[in-house]
């Protein structure tokens, strides 16, 4: 069909526009005026247009189930629901790469439209560097992973999409995550450009803050969607496993969070110039690193794409090239210090420095934990696993001072703040939090001291932000509401995770129809099984009654789904959520018997983990809106 050709040739044209752009940027760079040549606008738009056209050609090929394209044949099926045909576009390596490029060029186009106040040379160079990225990925996609590759003869039917990917949360997860990942590309390009034209300044920080916020918000949401999906789809009741693929999305998030703070300090006080630039580069390098690791096939994870070593080598070389380029630019054009700026020890500046210090620590732990097993295997052939126990051991203790310093430093002013005024307030909150923790430890004796301190420090943060919030309504004290919401979200997130992992109950049992069993204060009855047929799967539904001690009954219907294209069985958890806890039941068949394996879990505060993540992102969103007005 026509869409295959249209998509392919649009990509070829966008390469041509890329090359033309380099030429016109070079030409325009030496012309002394304040306006960018209109040709650059045109070609940027044309490039953006052709890439988007190519992307939508692929979308239509998927929607129309055009099996003459290898990528559609391998990842789709005519009986699939329309929505999953659509999301199948990026559910595979080739399509997701095209999405990546589409976001890359969209960001460039948006940058061009939104940077009119900035110096001409800086804008031109940003376009230049962003185009290096676009061109690199365009060559990569055409050379190694052409989504429009033809199949002859044309197959009658496709192979289908992995059923665990046929899920609403996971369908929108990649585009959201990619906006986050790729958003950091424009930060990268503009930081290189600003070093060369000596523009690393307050004004630069103000102008890139919006890009940092956008990518940070989307990355936060993207990671959250992935976790939600893992929670209800993977059937073990967890939401974060410190799996390498989860880690590679967390690393840019940590770097972006550090960058978000250092950009603020650069915008306010014109310090941390080199550091902000370094963080910008690191963030994008980590995003690229994520793409490389996920696509190279060297990771052992449930999320990796089908592998081809050629792809890994290409991305790795491109990553090394970009890193070298940034290093060279950094050493030649390192931002020069302008005068000396002083601040007191108890100041916002110090707080942000400490934030960045801890962020880099968290980042280094996740980084080494992810790549060390790979390195070790290459060096001496030994295979080791680095999993949750490692990260819990390293990261958890450091969260305690981190949260406490976070509480104190948001109360600080710029340059200096007299600690005496705040001492009373903080002491009051401290006692309040200690009292709260004391109560927890009194009622639940089995908690260890680290967890108690996590409770204490997160409660301390939450209380202190509550107080700020109410002060704001009572006497209209000027506060940064966006910051409070995000920080509150973070405190709540840590608190909820601590509650959930400390107090959750879980049990595995084998039951057959008609049996019942006593679990904690409940009685679980396995009533019967029913069958259902859907468009592309059959399901066996278990009907369970969970009876509380006071006679209240919960009805649970976990499912076993048998997808036909491809033939895969999945189990769908049934979760009952309220504000205090989630009850979670998932069932699996036990081969060769009429027993079913039932996994029952009770997870307190689970919903608050998602609410907290949303609050973190909402704070960022609010910050953009407040800035605009």
Partner 1 sequence: MKLSIKKIIILLFILICSISTSFSAGSFDNKIKKISKNLRCITCQGQSIDASNSDFALDVKNFIKIKLNEGLNEEQIYELLKKKYGSWIVFKPEFKYDNYLLWGFPYLIFLIGGIYIFIKIRKKIIKF
Task: Provide the binding-site residues for partner 1, judged by CB under 8 A.
Answer: 234-236, 238, 241, 243-245, 271, 300-302, 340-345, 349-350, 353-354, 357, 360-361, 364-365, 368-369, 372, 376, 380, 382-390, 393-394, 398, 416, 427, 430-431, 434-435, 437-438, 441-442, 445-449, 452, 456, 506-508, 588, 591, 597
365 vs 616 by CB, closer to partner 1: 365
Structure tokens at 617: 């992102």
CB of 362 vs partner 1, minimal distance in Å: 8
Q: Which of 273, 268, 279, 154 is nearest to 215 (CA)?
A: 279
| Minimum CB distance to partner 1 smaller for 398 or for 470 | 398
Nearer residue to partner 1 within complex by CB, 128 or 343: 343
* Whole-number Å distance between alpha carbons of 163 and 571: 11
Helix (H), strand (E), coil (C) string for 69-87: EHHHHHHCCCCCCHHHHHH
Q: At what angle do helices 388-409 and 449-475 cross, to 10 degrees?
A: 30
Which residue, among 317, 247, 312, has the nearest Cα to 286 in the 3D structure?
Answer: 247
Give the nearest distance from C-beta 376 to partner 1 in angstroms: 7
Nearer to partner 1, 271 or 285 (CB): 271
Q: How far is the CB of 183 from partner 1 (least distance, A)?
A: 26
Report in angstroms how near the CB of residue 461 gets to partner 1 at its nearest: 17
Quote the CA–CA distance of 265 and 254 in Å, as a whole number.
Answer: 17
Q: How far apart, in Å, are the Cα atoms of 430 and each of 263, 346, 401, 458, 490?
A: 30, 18, 13, 11, 18
68 or 502: CB nearest partner 1: 502
Closer by beta carbon to partner 1, 300 or else 317: 300
Q: Hey, how many other C-beta atoms are within 10 angstroms of the C-beta on 458? A: 28
The CB-of-482 to partner 1 minimum distance in angstroms stands at 26
The per-residue b/e assignment along 164-197, b for 16 or more CB within 10 angstroms, e otherwise, is: bbbbebbbebbbbbbbbbbbbbbbbbbbbbbbbb
CB of 192 or CB of 205, closer to partner 1: 205
Question: What is the DSSP track for 546-602?
Answer: EE-TTS-EEEE--EEEEETTTTEEEEE-EEEE-SSEEEEEEEEEPTTSS-EEEEEEE
3-class secondary structure, 267: helix
Q: By C-beta, is 6 or 245 nearer to partner 1? A: 245
The residue among 243 and 572 lying less far from partner 1, judged by its C-beta, is 243
Of 64 and 568, the one with the shorter C-beta distance to partner 1 is 568
Q: Are 600 and 467 in contact (CB under 8 A)?
A: no
Q: Is 385 exposed, middle or buried (0-12, 13-18, 19+ CB in 10 A)?
A: exposed
CB of 398 vs partner 1, minimal distance in Å:
8
User: What's the per-residue H, E or C state across 387-416?
Assistant: CHHHHHHHHHHHHHHHHHHHHHHCCCCCCC
Nearer of residues 334 and 344 to partner 1, judged by Cβ: 344
Task: Pick the closer one to partner 1 by CB: 520 or 580.
Answer: 520
319 or 368: CB nearest partner 1: 368
Is 176 or 386 the residue whose CB approaches partner 1 more closely? Answer: 386
Backbone angles phi, psi at 504, to 5 degrees: -75, 150
State in angstroms the smallest separation of the CB of 433 from partner 1.
10
H/E run at residue 487? helix 481-503
CB 345, min distance to partner 1, A = 5
Q: Tell me which H or E stretch contains 4.
A: helix 2-29
Q: How far is the CB of 301 from partner 1 (least distance, A)?
A: 4
- What is the C-alpha radius of gyration for the chain, rounded to an integer number of angstroms? 27
The minimum distance between CB 401 and partner 1, in angstroms, equals 11
Residue 305 is given by DSSP the state P
CB of 161 to partner 1, least distance (A): 17
| Phi-psi label, residue 514: left if phi above 0, alpha if psi -120 to 50, beta otherwise | left
CA 408 from centre of chain: 28
Q: How far is the CB of 502 from partner 1 (least distance, A)?
A: 12
Least distance (Å) from partner 1 to the CB of residue 384? 5
- The neighbouring-strand residues paired with 526 are 544
Q: Provide the minimum distance between the beta carbon of 205 and partner 1 in the complex, in angstroms, as a whole number.
A: 18
Q: How far, in Å, CA of 610 to CA of 169, rounded?
A: 13
Place of tokens 């309040």: 432
């Amino acid at each position: 069909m026509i869409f295959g050709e249209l998509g392919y040739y649009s990509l070829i044209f966008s390469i041509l526009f890329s090359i033309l752009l380099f030429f016109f940027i070079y030409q325009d760079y030496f012309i002394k005026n304040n306006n960018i040549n209109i040709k650059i606008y045109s070609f940027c738009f044309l490039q953006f247009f052709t890439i988007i056209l190519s992307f939508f050609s692929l979308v239509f090929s998927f929607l129309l189930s055009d099996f003459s394209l290898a990528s559609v044949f391998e990842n789709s099926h005519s009986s699939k629901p329309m929505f999953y045909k659509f999301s199948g576009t990026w559910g595979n390596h080739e399509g997701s790469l095209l999405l990546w490029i589409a976001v890359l060029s969209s960001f460039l186009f948006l940058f061009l439209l939104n940077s009119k106040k900035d110096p001409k040379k800086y804008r031109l160079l940003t376009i230049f560097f962003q185009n290096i990225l676009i061109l690199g990925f365009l060559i990569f996609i055409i050379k190694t992973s052409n989504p429009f590759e033809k199949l002859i003869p044309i197959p009658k039917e496709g192979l289908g999409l992995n059923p665990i990917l046929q899920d609403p949360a996971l369908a929108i997860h990649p585009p959201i995550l990619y906006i986050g990942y790729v958003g950091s590309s424009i930060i990268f390009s503009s930081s290189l450009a600003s070093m060369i034209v000596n523009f690393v300044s307050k004004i630069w920080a103000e102008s890139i803050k919006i890009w940092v916020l956008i990518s940070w918000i989307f990355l936060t949401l993207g990671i959250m969607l992935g976790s939600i999906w893992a929670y209800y789809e993977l059937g073990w009741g967890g939401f974060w496993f410190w799996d390498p693929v989860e880690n590679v999305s967390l690393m840019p998030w940590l770097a972006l969070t550090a960058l978000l703070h250092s950009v603020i300090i650069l915008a306010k006080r014109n310090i941390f110039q080199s550091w902000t630039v370094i963080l910008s580069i690191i963030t994008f390098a980590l995003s690229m690193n994520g793409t490389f690791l996920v696509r190279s096939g060297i990771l052992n994870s449930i999320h990796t794409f089908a592998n081809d070593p050629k792809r890994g080598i290409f991305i790795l070389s491109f990553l090394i090239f970009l890193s070298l380029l940034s290093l060279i630019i950094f050493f030649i054009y390192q931002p020069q210090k302008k005068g000396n700026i002083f601040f007191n020890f108890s100041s916002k500046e110090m707080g942000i420095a400490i934030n960045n210090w801890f962020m880099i620590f968290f980042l280094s732990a996740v980084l080494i934990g992810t790549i060390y097993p790979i390195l070790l295997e290459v060096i001496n052939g030994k295979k080791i696993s680095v999993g949750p126990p490692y990260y819990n051991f390293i990261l958890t203790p450091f969260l305690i001072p981190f949260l406490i310093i976070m509480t104190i430093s948001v109360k600080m002013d710029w340059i200096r703040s007299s600690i005496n005024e705040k001492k009373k307030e903080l002491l009051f909150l401290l006692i309040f939090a200690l009292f709260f923790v004391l109560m927890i430890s009194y009622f639940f004796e089995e908690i260890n001291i680290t967890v108690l301190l996590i409770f204490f420090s997160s409660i301390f943060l939450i209380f202190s932000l509550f107080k700020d919030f109410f002060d704001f309504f009572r006497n209209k004290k000027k506060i940064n509401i966006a910051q409070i919401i995000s920080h509150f979200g973070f405190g709540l997130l840590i608190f909820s995770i601590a509650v959930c992992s400390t107090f959750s109950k879980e049990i595995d049992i084998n039951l057959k129809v008609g049996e019942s069993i006593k679990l904690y204060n409940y009685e679980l009855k396995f009533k019967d099984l029913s069958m259902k047929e859907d468009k592309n799967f059959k399901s066996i539904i278990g009907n369970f009654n969970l009876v509380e001690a006071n006679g209240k009954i919960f009805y649970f219907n976990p499912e076993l789904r048998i997808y036909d294209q491809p033939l895969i069985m999945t189990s769908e958890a049934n979760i009952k959520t309220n504000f205090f806890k989630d009850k979670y039941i998932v069932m699996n068949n036990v081969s060769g018997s009429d027993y079913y394996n039932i996994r029952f879990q009770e997870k307190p505060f689970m919903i608050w983990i998602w609410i907290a993540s949303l609050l973190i992102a909402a704070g960022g969103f609010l910050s953009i809106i407040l800035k605009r007005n």
